[in-house]
Structures are given as structure tokens and as C-alpha cells.
Structure 1
Amino acid sequence: MKTVWRLTGCVYVLLGSACSVLPGLHVGKPGSESVSLERRTQPDGSTQYVGQSGGELIGYRVVEVTGQSLAQIRAGTEITLPPLPGMFSAVTAGQGALEYRIGPGDIVLITVWEHPELSAPLGDRTDVQNAGRLVSADGLMFYPYVGEFKAAGMTALELRQFIAQKLSRVINNPQVDARVVGFRSQRVQVSGDVRDPGVVALDDKPKGVMEAIAERGGLTEQASRRRVYLTRGGISYPLDLAGMLSGERTVMNPQLVAGDVVHVPDRSNDLVFVLGEVDKQVQVALQQGKTTLTEALTAAGGLDRLRANDSGVLVFRRPFAEGLLPTIYSLSLDSPLGLLLAGEFVLQPRDVVYVKTTDFAQYNSLINQLLPTISAVFQLDRLVTRR
């Protein structure tokens, strides 16, 4: 009995010391003193734990997810992209043809009715690329009885009128038609996670970001469904690709101009991480629609039946603007209301979902860690007692 009492006391002391070591409101950097955080209750019901370290504001805020606070959470965490400058215009479904201006490298097919010697001097008009006339790198073009002239910058209508006016000196009332059959001068680059990255030629049909991506084969499996970047004049502008794809909100599909670069990133910045007491710890890629907490937990196989604390589900969210604090959202799934709220709580990129452990599971983990030590002490004590 003496041995049993001694062991019981050992377990009691160890368990008591472990339970007394609780996470305190202290933070610190390696090699520096810890900083105490002050608790502040905010008017919106959230709680802030803040302090100063080297003149820098540190800490975090805790928000309990309730039916009343959910609307405020949505409004405060919805990511809105800055509006595009006025130089951008949108591609619309009913938009007509553009007034295309000829440029270097374009191929123009010119027809003079009843004068095949001018329309097809080589006698073959089935191959319009070869039958057409190339605009040189310096924007010049040659045509019989007209000579060499500056074609770059003209529209097809202006080119037709110009050639007709020049030919009127040798042909009575010439009937001239002109059209671009090879669009080569105005191009944009499409890069990133598209199936066939490369160049897209702009023509007389309006082309936006969505049309350019589609022309290069569409998105890959690893492509982001939330963001795309348009670079113009050396400045990169983020665009709401999720809105364009889903149609859930009105989003501009910017019309492209020569020299633009469309870049589709991968989905590495669209991940949500599910950790803690779930069936499997996973990373979930956010798609073009809204991904809720319930969907993320389902992707992780649900809560661990034995170890998960369904009243302790946390979502850690980084600040989206300078000067803001990270936020920890606390949600309880042990009630019907909590389950409904989880189905409405929309996750944001780089969120971390953490399911806490039950007190009983923590107790079992501690016992499992202590058992080898207890067993060794028990065996040693038996040997000493026998002596």
C-alpha cells in the first residue's frame, strides 16, 4: 500500500501542475521579453487583446459567431478590390465591331472591281493571306498607281477611300474595297495557369480578359478561380475572377488593348487549412463560389467523434489591411443554431480552421504521456521495496 500511495501522489502532482499551466496572455519574440496583452471589450461585442512591442501594436481580437454578429462579420471581412481607373472599359454582350486601326505586320486585302490585274496580280485570290498586302514594320504599304504610303493608323474605311481617290487619276470612278485579313499588329500576352499560355491577337471584335483566357485554352486544374491580374502601363490590377465566372455579382470584364498582360495565378493563395481534431487534416482550395465552414469541415471528414470539442471550433483570419489585428472567430457546433451559422460562415483565403480537443481527450493524452514514466517508477519502486 505504501507504494500505491506514493504513485498516486506522483500522478496527482503531475496532473495538477499540468492543469495549472494555462495559456497566458503573453507574447514575445525570440531573445526578447514577453509582452502582456491588455483585454479590451469593443462596442461590437468583440474582445481585443493588445499590447505594444517596440512601438508596434501587437495582439489579436476574438469574435464569437452568433446570429447577431454574423451580418457584421460578413460586412467587415468581405474583400473588395479597388475600382479600375477610368481608362478601362467593359466588354458587353451587345457590343458591336470595333474601329480597328491598321498597324505594322497586318495584312490587308484590297479589291478593285472590274480590275483583276489590280485585285489579284498573281491570279489567285483563294489564299487571302498571300493575296493581301503586308504593312511593313515602319507602317508603309505599296499599291499600284498609288505608290508607297503610310497605311498604319488608318481604318479599313479610310484606306479604301484613300486608294479610291488616288486611283481616280487612272480609273474612272474606281470601286474599291479594303479589309484586314491578317491581324498581327495588336497583341496581348496571356500567362500563368492557362492551358496554352501565349499571345492573343486583337481584331475588330471586342476582347476582354475572359475571351483572352478562353482563346488560350481556359484555366488549368491548379489555376485560381478567384483572382486574375491585368497589367497595363507597367501597373498590375487585380480582378475579381470569381465574380466573372460565377455571375453572383456584377463584375467588369475589361476590354483589352495592345500591350496588355493577363496573368492567371495558381490557387496557392486560395487555400483554407483545416487542423485539429478532425478526421483528416486537409487544405481546401476555395472555388469561384462561396466556401462555408461546414463545407471545409466536411472536406476534412467531419469532427473526430472521440476527441473533438464541438463547442470549440475556431477560425483564425489574418488582417486584410495594414494596422488591423488578426481575428479569431469562435463558433459552437453543439446546438442547431451553431450548425446553421457554420453553414453561413464564409471562409476567406488563408483562413485556418482549428477544432479544439475535449477536456477528456486532453486528460487521456496526458495519461498516455505519463504512463511510461509511471510504469518505470513503479518497477523501480518494487525493486527497492523488495530489498
Structure 2
Amino acid sequence: MNFTTSRAAKAAVMAVLVSSVAACGLPRSGPNKSEIYAGSVLKGGDAFVVSVNSRVTRATSVMPAFGFSSRFSGAGVVGSDTISPGDVLGLTIFENVKDDPLLGNTGQRVSALDEVQVDGQGYIFVPYAGKIKAAGQTPDSLRQIITQKLDSQTPDPQVTVARLAGDGQTVTVSGAVSGQGVFPIERPTRTLSSMIAKAGGVAIEPAVAVVRVTRGGETGKVWLQDLYENPGLDIALRGGDKIVVERDQRAFVALGATGAQSLVPFETQTLSAIEAIAQVGGLNTSLADPTGVFVFRNETAAVANTVLGRKDLKGEQRMVYVLDLTQPTGMFEARDFLIRDGDTLYVTEAPFTQWSKTIAAITGTAGAADTLASVGSSTASSGN
């Protein structure tokens, strides 16, 4: 085989491999800009593709509002000495007689009832005074009632009432706190923030902590940071309240030419596009196209109509928001545009990336062609 034949063989092998690469396509992380725009409503697709500006940012800055209804915020602080069903009381009765006291033995003027349980209906039983409604009373008002009941049976009785345990006025604290448990509502723990402190405080980052309170069949929740910063959210507690501290469950998906491709939890109450990019390690400098940063979202009809300047859209709309970080205000727009729960942040690859992959593929193909031609030449020489 002569030199001309060898070159022809290599050229033929290279042509076949390059054709194969072209036919199969090159690997990439997802659609390019032109393919995304081709899916827009204007071109017969089913998504609205919108460039982000200050007007769009204002229209889409809709975040879920946390707070408590009037049932929670309008409830007054429970008195720490108010008696409730389940409470344990201590009664001491002094009788002004020596020989034949009503409650004690002869010569015993003081009778102590150490643990008197308030039943589920709110009543207690006191010997010779009978069944008495204790729930809703303060220790002092209950003392007066017992005194009146006994006054006709023993001369000048003196009664003291103490609330020993607040089993009937308790709340349950669970979730991401240092000490979960059932805690009584006492003078230092009559509000939400003080009860969380009683449970040892939160065991997660305060920036992502959400506090949920369930009372009866109604639930309200608030950001922990807002609770600390706004006294109006520090609601008064009621017996039976269930308090749960949990991590914010919101997340977005990062795909394409970013530092990481994954489901990413929120780390703050609000998250801008530029913060989201930074949270996943920024743009991949060897792959990313900074003119092609996209946010995919299902938008409510109200917001979509506002963004598009329309009034006819009904139901959820597929929206694709475009950020161009190379524009003079691009970084500011990315800083102000808010990411929402369920968003997909996608960064396209730069056009040269595909060229680089093509060149690499061709270079590899050329090496393969040289190898095959060399093998063919050696085979031909050995056959001569």
C-alpha cells in the first residue's frame, strides 16, 4: 500500500466517523435558547416567554403570607391562676374549735387536702362542702366559695387554696425544638415565644424556622424571625394548643450549566434569582450562557394577566422568565426577581460549548482514523 492509499483510507474513516457524530448529536444539559423560544405561545407553543424587567418583577413578587387569624390574635392572655379541668389544687382548712373539729381529729384544728384533682367537668369535691365548680375560678374566688359552704357547719373557718399543677392548661411543643414535651401555661409561659423558650428554643437555623400553632380545628403559622421582630404575632396561648416548629419546606430545582444540579431548599424567607444562582455554586464558567438564565413557573391567572397586560387568561399559565445577566441592569433585575416554591432555574449552555464539543469529537475521530489507518497499513504490509 502506498502513501496515497494510506491518506485516502484515513480520510474515508474520518468522514464516516464525523458523519456518525453529526447524525447522533452531542450530549448537552438541556434545550438551548432557540429551542426554548420555539416553545413560546407566539410560535405555537404553550408557554409565555417573558423578559424580566422592573414591571415584571413587581407583578411576580407574590409570596405566601403567614400569620394568625383573629381567633388567635384576639385571644387575651390566660391568667396564670385561672383554674381549669385537670388542675391539681392544694386546700388547707383552719377551724376555730379544739374538741370536735368538722374535718380533723380531736385537737386537730388544721386539715390539709394536698391533692384535689379538678375533674373533666371542672368540679372538685370538698368534704362537708360538697361538689363545687372550680374551673374558671381563681384560687381566691374558690376560697371564698368553700368558706361560705363550710361557715354554717364550723365556726369561722379559714381556707387557703393553691394551684399546685396546671395539667388542665398545657400545650404540646414538638418538632425542631431542643426539648419536646407537654408544658403548663404558667406566668412566664403564657405567650408563644416564651413557650418556645421554655422548650429550649429552636434546633434549626432561625431563618428557615416556621412555627405552626393548632387550636381546635384551626391552624396558623408564622416565621420565627417575624415572631421575634413583631410583638403582635406573639399570641397568647390556650390549653390544648399544639405548637410545632418545622423547617421551611419550600425548594426550587436547579438545572443546566450551574455549579450544581439538584433540588435546592430555600435558606431564607425570600430568595432572589441571583441568590438562587449563588446557592448552587454560581454559573459554570466553562459552559454557561449568561444571556440565557430561565425560570420556569406555573403562574396564577391573576399574575399572568398582570405580567402580560391581559385580562382574558383563565387558570394556571406556564410562564418562562428570561434573565440576561450581560445587560446593563441584568444583575439588578436578577437581584430583585424572586424565586418561588416549585420554580425551575435553568441556565443554558453557551453556543461555543457545542462547538468545543464538536471539535473534541472531531479531534477524537481523527485520532481514531489515524489508528485505524495504521492498523490497516500494518496488516497490508504483513500480508506482502
Q: TM-score, normalised by structure 2?
A: 0.70
Q: CA-to-partner distance for each residue in 1:237-290, whole Å, 9 max, x for gaps?
A: 35232563463x7873444333332233344x2334444333445665424543
**CA positional deviation for 1:184:** 0.6
Structure-to-structure mapping, 1:1-387, within 5 angstroms: 2=8, 6=12, 7=14, 11=18, 14-15=21-22, 18=25, 39-40=41-42, 49-50=45-46, 60-74=47-61, 77-80=62-65, 86-90=70-74, 98=79, 101-110=82-91, 131=114, 133-136=116-119, 139-143=122-126, 145-170=128-153, 176-203=159-186, 207-221=190-204, 225=208, 227-235=210-218, 237-241=219-223, 244-245=226-227, 247=229, 252-267=233-248, 269-281=249-261, 284-319=264-299, 323-369=315-361, 371-381=363-373, 383=375, 387=380
Distance 1:288 1:175 in 2: 60
Distance 1:176 1:370, change over 3 A: farther
**CA positional deviation for 1:40:** 4.4
Q: Is the 8 A contact 2:178 2:203 kept in 1?
A: yes
Distance 1:246 1:68, change over 3 A: farther
Q: CA-to-partner distance for each residue in 1:95-126, whole Å, 9 max, x for gaps?
A: 665386423431224456797999x9899x9x
Q: CA-to-partner distance for each residue in 1:314-359, whole Å, 9 max, x for gaps?
A: 2233557994134332211124411122222232234333322211
Distance 1:343 1:25, change over 3 A: closer
Q: Is the 8 A contact 1:226 1:287 kept in 2?
A: no
**CA positional deviation for 1:25:** 7.3
Distance 1:17 1:222 in 2: 48
Distance 1:97 1:175, change over 3 A: farther
- Percentage of pairs with the same residue: 25
Secondary structure of the equivalent of 1:214? helix
Q: CA RMSD in A?
A: 4.5
Q: Greater shift after overlay, 286-295 or 332-341?
A: 286-295
**CA positional deviation for 1:167:** 3.1
Q: Is the 8 A contact 2:147 2:158 kept in 1?
A: yes
Distance 2:190 2:172 in 1: 13
**CA positional deviation for 1:162:** 0.8
Q: Is the 8 A contact 2:49 2:322 kept in 1?
A: yes
For structure 1, list consecutive stretches of 5 or more residues without a partner in the other structure.
27-35, 42-47, 51-59
Q: Greater shift after overlay, 141-150 or 289-298?
A: 141-150
**CA positional deviation for 1:37:** 6.4
Distance 2:97 2:245 in 1: 48
Secondary structure of the equivalent of 2:233? coil
Distance 2:298 2:231 in 1: 27
Q: CA-to-partner distance for each residue in 1:20-72, whole Å, 9 max, x for gaps?
A: x977979xxxxxxxxx967149xxxxxx942xxxxxxxxx4333212332111
Secondary structure of the equivalent of 1:333? coil
Secondary structure of the equivalent of 1:88? helix
Secondary structure of the equivalent of 1:305? coil
Distance 1:2 1:288, change over 3 A: closer
Distance 1:294 1:232 in 2: 39
2:64 is aligned with what amino acid? I
Distance 1:246 1:40, change over 3 A: farther
Report the structure number with the largest CA radius of gyration. Answer: 2
Distance 1:107 1:246, change over 3 A: closer
2:334 is aligned with what amino acid? A
Runs of 4+ in 1 over 6 A off after TM superposition: 21-26, 113-118, 120-123
In proportion to residue count, which structure has more helix? Answer: 2
Q: Is the 8 A contact 1:227 1:238 kept in 2?
A: no
Match in the other structure for 2:4? none
Distance 1:263 1:98, change over 3 A: same
Does 1 or 2 have the higher relative contact order (CA < 8 Å, sep 6+)? 2
**CA positional deviation for 1:183:** 0.4
Distance 1:339 1:315 in 2: 15
Distance 1:312 1:140 in 2: 72
